[in-house]
Amino acid sequence: MLHLLKKLGFNEHFTLSLMAVFIGVVVGYGAILFRTLIEIFQHLFMGSGHENVVAILAELSWWHILLMPVIGGAIIGPLVHFFFPGSRGHGVPEVMSAVALNGGKMNLRDGLGKMIACSLSIGSGGSVGREGPVVHLGATIASWFGSKLQLSTRHMRTIVGCGAAAGIAASFNAPIAGVMFALEVILADYGLATFSPIVLSSVIATVIARLHLGDFPAFIVPHYTLVSAWEIPAYVGLGLVCGVTGILFMKVLFKSEDLFALIPIPRYLKPIIGGFFLGLIALVFPQVMGVGYDTMNMALLEEMAGPIMLTLVLVKILATSVTLGSGFSGGVFTPSLFLGAMVGGSYGILAHDFFPAISAGPGAYTLVGMGAMAAAVLGAPIASILILFELTGDYRIMLALMVASIVATVLINQVYRDSVYTSALRRHGIDLRSGREVGLLRHLSVASIVRREFETVPDTMTIKQFKVRLHSSQEETFLVVNSEGSLCGIVSFQNIRGVAFEEGLEDLVLVRDIATKEVVTINPKDNLHEAFYRMDENDVQQLPVVAENDPGQVLGLITDHDMVRAYNKALMERETRS
């Protein structure tokens, strides 16, 4: 497609910009459809589509609140399991993985499935966010469009970034933040060729959202300011508290996933259990249901007491972990903002009580806490700062926000070493922290390069016989097997140097006497990153490939040369597609 447009006189940059505009329009309307679906399902479950969920729940009976997420889970579980299995996950990690490892190629069906499942989750009271799924939806729409135009891998990544940026921009009414989120989290690329189309897509999506939803910020934010330079240490402390809370949130979230995985029932029934526990929590703390914008607005307006905000921190962590761990669909962006608001608000009350003359009110700390928590948990400090800047339109509180966000982010990077997105990917064997090349190694299996032809020697062979074997073979290293054919060692010329030239020993010493007994092996299901690691740690150049359920059964052999050759081939193929 690009080649055709070039022949017509359009340069590459202009063509990508046109595509970005189109994607901005489509994703903008996709975000509107997504919000409409949430309102429809919420009206079906709660009797009202208004975002003030706490007020709606106050009018419902206890059994309605309890059963609502149970019924939602009963629908979502089979829907995802049987019809949209590719829509599992938080949304953003899947986009990151597709950009880094799959050339930006994503399945539109997964994006549509996630939109439906997430709207059902939120509509039935699930304690999740809508921003992650709308990023996923935007990315899959853009990827589908790019695939139809047969774009190269490099351009596909840019187009997917456009879709992600448009999703964030339309959801938050924050075009600058959408751009930075795509560049910082999704692409990790700030080049001009990437920047310009993403800006266009983000702006167009924001315009579409404003035309239909109005130019209203996501939160009601009064104008706050930094009262005194002496207040900075208090915001440093808030950053530390947000970092610790973020670590707790991620640990509980992934522990919840592990615990639900242990329950011996079909996967599609587990959301029913999660919905039941969520309903129990909501009977006492209805604030945790849904996206929670109404509760965050109350905290920003200083209409909540410190003890209830502090309690909601722990309850929200539990509610979101149960919701996502059991199999509901949704994002963690908004729950991170919620936690930051509650932590910041309760912290701000204490700070203002102790230092009323030099500290702002709790609302300022609520706002800063939202940005700091999102920055740390999502691993997106720049985007998080800009989101709050666009929400307030006021620079005066930004100094405090930047300090707290960086402190929280540094703390999580030091202690936890992962954002919630990279943690989710690492749990599936994908490590993006070390670069795309490591990801490439992780996607090359040992089974794909294993050499089935290898030479073995019996452990009863004498050194004299082994020397003859060495002389007639092109191999330098041999696997040693016992009488049952099981691997029991490895031997090479290096092992026999001490006895090879000693008279009388050649016929007395057996291979098993001088072979290396501690053999480093690997399974065919392992990847090349793990193979490289084992070779480097043990200073060896080859690894026997053994059966997973029988370490003595040798299936083949891989060498460092085999792995380098396979890696270079895969790297060239990827660059050729680019």
Q: Are 462 and 505 in contact (CB under 8 A)?
A: no
In the prediction, which pLDDT does 250 show? 92
Cα–Cα distance, 550 to 531 (Å, whole number) = 18
In the prediction, which pLDDT does 380 show? 82
Return the closest-CA partner of residue 300 out of 214, 200, 369: 369
For residue 132, what are its two tokens? Answer: 């992650």
In the prediction, which pLDDT does 303 show? 87
Question: Span 102-106, mean pLDDT?
Answer: 78
pLDDT class of 423 with cuts at 50, 70, 90: confident
pLDDT class of 75 with cuts at 50, 70, 90: very high
Range scoring the smallest mean pLDDT among 30-44, 158-172, 345-359 = 345-359
Q: Are 457 and 477 in contact (CB under 8 A)?
A: no
pLDDT at 442 over 80: no
Cα–Cα distance, 35 to 60 (Å, whole number) = 23
Cβ neighbour number for residue 502 with a 10 Å cutoff: 11
pLDDT tens, residue by residue, 483-517: 888 888 888 766 776 665 566 666 677 877 778 78
pLDDT tens, residue by residue, 513-562: 778 788 888 888 888 778 877 887 777 778 888 888 887 888 888 887 77
Domains 229-437 and 440-577 are alike in CATH topology: no
CATH of segment(s) 440-577: 3.10.580.10
- Domain 2-213: what homologous superfamily? Clc chloride channel (1.10.3080.10)
Cβ neighbour number for residue 518 with a 10 Å cutoff: 7
Residue spans of the domains in the chain: they are 2-213, 229-437, 440-577
Classify residue 537 as exposed, middle or buried by CB count within 10 Å of its CB (0-12, 13-18, 19+): exposed
In the prediction, which pLDDT does 51 show? 76
pLDDT tens, residue by residue, 368-408: 899 899 888 888 888 888 877 776 666 667 788 888 999 99
pLDDT tens, residue by residue, 222-244: 666 666 677 888 889 999 999 99
In the prediction, which pLDDT does 578 show? 47
Flag whether the pTM goes above 0.85: no
pLDDT tens, residue by residue, 314-366: 999 999 999 999 989 888 888 999 999 999 999 988 887 777 766 677 888 88
- CATH architecture of structural domain 229-437: Orthogonal Bundle (1.10)
In the prediction, which pLDDT does 282 show? 93
